[in-house]
Structure 1
Amino acid sequence: MSWTFGSVAVVGAGAIGLYYGARLAAAGNDVRFLLRSDYDAVKRDGIRVESVAGDLHLEEVKAYLTPEEIGPVDLVIVAWKTTSNDLFGKILPPLLHEQTQVLTLQNGLGNCERLAEIVRPDQILGALCFVCLNRLAPGFVSHTAGGRISVGEYANDGRGRAEEIARRFSAAGIPTDAAASLAEAQWKKLVWNVPFNGLAIAEGGVTTDVLLSSPEVEGEIRALMSEVVTAARAQGLALEDSLIDFNIERTRPMGPYRPSSMIDYVEGREVEFDSIWGEPLRRAKAAGVEVPHMERLAERIRVRLGADG
């Protein structure tokens, strides 16, 4: 039996949740936003997006303060930082009915496994967002590059859930594809996230152009990417060496881009250490892969977080 969705709840309305939720709502979908600090501003002014794909001002927003006010929906989009995953048990149940699907747009590994403690595996999807977004003010997002999403099913049940989300998101102006392997897509995203988010912190809070301006640091980026690719292959995932050049060359035109983890670090917020570096490192070791560059980077990040925490 095929699946589709009508109502949508966006949980975690930072840059990712605001941007993709606003795009879906502007296309006429029933999108409900669970907000905290942005609630008053969004109720008053709506959601504003300055975007390379076209500016957007969603004036009327379905904004709520509690999941109970939203009620059960067909699709829950989880867009908060992985550091908030301990709240799954409190936030998700009021949003669920028997066939609700939960789509996590979060970074790193381990998020679907956490969701599986709350809902069935055939209710879980993961997505990787290849996009440059920054939340500049409450309800105000800057979109400077990218925007593509790759969606995969945690447990494929033949209902075409990822394909349907890709179709509906694409119709709303969000370029989206259905990934044949969610795990492969997750590791492909880590090829960028591990070095660029990590070294931006380890080097003291710098932008991607600063990292790439140093031949020594670029060499470290390439070494880290190579270890991520090797770790993925050891788990039976088909990652190609060409991902290294591809990710470096697509980063150069971004200019002084601030990776999301670097922003969290410099602004004193909790960093998504475990999902982006801790869990990938554990899985690499479990697969029998030596990853000395990843180990050193993880230790450098721990030192930075400890010294500035």
Structure 2
Amino acid sequence: MKIAVIGTGALGGFYGGMLAKNGNDVHFLLNSDYDYVAKNGLTIESDIHGTFNLKDIHVYKDINEMPICDVVLICLKSTKNSFIKNIKKIINDYSLIVIIQNGLGVEEEIAQLFPKNNIIGALAFIASNKIGPGHIHHLELGRLKLGSFNHQKTPLVDDLIKVFKTSDIDAIYTDELKYIRWQKLIWNMAFNGTCVILNCTTDKLLSNIHTREMIYELMRETVSAAKACGVNLPDDEVDKIVETTDRMKPYNPSMKLDYDNKREMELKYIYEKPIEHAKAAGFEMKKMKTLLQLLHFKQAEYFQD
């Protein structure tokens, strides 16, 4: 199985690195880190799996030089999704396209580009950051939940799940892609934007009685929005997510890191699309809409600098 990793950052670097470490045929597309990784290799510093450096790996700066692959892992920031049309050069009609991104609505757009391919949505429940050129720090967690968007589960999907598991990646398949996307949004919508606005890590939000209650309110609103959209998340889901986050190490969500580094934030799929879907179903996400307005202000502020 040839596996392409498009976007070798916090997610692509970790998952691709784990696959390559365990002997799989992985092909990494890099941008600014290409020269460094080609010379020094890819380093994964994992608090769970240990630190390892991968020097004998396939790395590319130009997608035109990559081979046709059976599986393409899309690990780009969703703000870079305009690039995805270029993967047509490395797939055939049978290739599996796996989108490891947060938010809602990404599969619909990519399926329009590649109607013959099986489009898989994947949610990464992980704490991982890119801390330097070709250097990924994996703090904890790592489960991948995958679901097919436009086709039935195929043998290639089963094979990919097995490859993940034999590479020490906790991967599971579900028929409920919409469910897992809303499930992940509970955490993402509450913590990503709030950490940006209040300039803090997740532990700080939960250690203060006022912001802790605010996080609960934001999460409950997301659960209500999901139910309006036909996704019946359990009532205790919020408590479980907060308990898990309480046990996590202090963590800067990806949106906070993007803001700190003056990169465009992933507002479209993490906030705008869910708010639009909920409104179409008759539910107004008032708290999230206010948070989104503040995030647009922050984003416009740094783009004006």
1:76 aligns with 72
Q: Does 1:48 align with 2:46?
A: no
Match of 2:12 among 1, 17, 42: 17
Contact (CA 8 Å) 1:42, 1:61: kept in 2 or not? no
Q: Does 1:63 align with 2:29?
A: no
Q: Hey, what does 1:138 align to over in structure 2? A: 133
Does residue 238 (structure 1) correspond to residue 232 (structure 2)? The answer is yes
Give the 3-state SS of the residue equivalent to 1:125 in structure 2.
strand
1:134 is paired with a residue whose SS is: strand
1:156-211 residue CA offsets vs partner (Å, 9 max, x unmatched)? 324255433222211111001101211101110000000100101121x2111121
Q: Which residue of 2 aligns with 1:211?
A: 205
Unmatched 5+ stretches in structure 2: none
Is it true that 1:109 corresponds to 2:104 in the alignment? yes
Contact 1:122 1:154 in 2 (8 A): no
CA drift of 1:238 comes to 2.5
Is residue 26 of structure 2 the alignment partner of residue 31 of structure 1?
Answer: yes
Q: How far apart, in 1, do the equivalents of 2:301 and 2:30 lie?
A: 32
Q: Distance in 1 between matches of 2:289 and 2:156?
A: 37
User: Aligned AA for 1:60?
Assistant: D
Return the offset for 1:254: 2.2
**Could you tell me how far apart the structure 1 residues matched to 2:300 and 2:32 are?**
27
Q: How does 1:98-177 map to 2 (within 5 A)?
A: 98-120=93-115, 122-177=117-172
> Is the alpha carbon distance of 1:121 and 1:132 closer, same or farther for their aligned partners in structure 2, counting shifts above 3 Å?
farther
Q: How many residues align?
A: 302
Aligned to 2:178: 183
Provide, for residues 208-239 of structure 1, a one-character-per-residue CA deviation record: whole Å limited to 9, x for no partner: 11211221111111111111111111222121
4+ residue runs over 4 A deviation: none
What SS does the aligned partner of 1:116 have? helix
Tell me the CA shift for residue 262 of structure 1: 0.4
Structure 1 counterpart of 2:128, one-letter code = L
Question: RMSD of aligned C-alpha atoms?
Answer: 1.3
Distance 2:156 2:102 in 1: 21
Contact 1:49 1:143 in 2 (8 A): yes
Q: Which of 260, 273, 279 is matched with 1:279 structurally?
A: 273
Contact 2:93–2:117 (CA<8 Å) still a contact in 1? no
The unaligned stretches of length 5 or more in structure 1 are: 1-5
Over residues 43-93 of structure 1, what are the superposed CA-to-partner deviations in whole Å (9 max), with x where a residue is unaligned? 11111111122122212110011111003111000001000011122x211
Look up the match of 2:188.
193
For residues 68-125 of structure 1, give each alpha carbon's deviation from its aligned partner in whole angstroms, at most 9, with x where no partner exists.
1003111000001000011122x21111112011000011012111211211265200
Letter in 2 for 1:226: R
Paired residue for 2:254? 260
Q: 1:160 to 1:186 in 2, by over 3 A?
A: farther
AA partner of residue 84 (structure 1): K
Distance 1:228 1:13 in 2: 30
1:254-295 deviations in whole A, cap 9, x for unaligned? Answer: 232100000000110110011100101000101101221111
1:87 aligns with 2:83: yes
For residue 48 of structure 2, give the secondary structure of its aligned residue in structure 1. coil
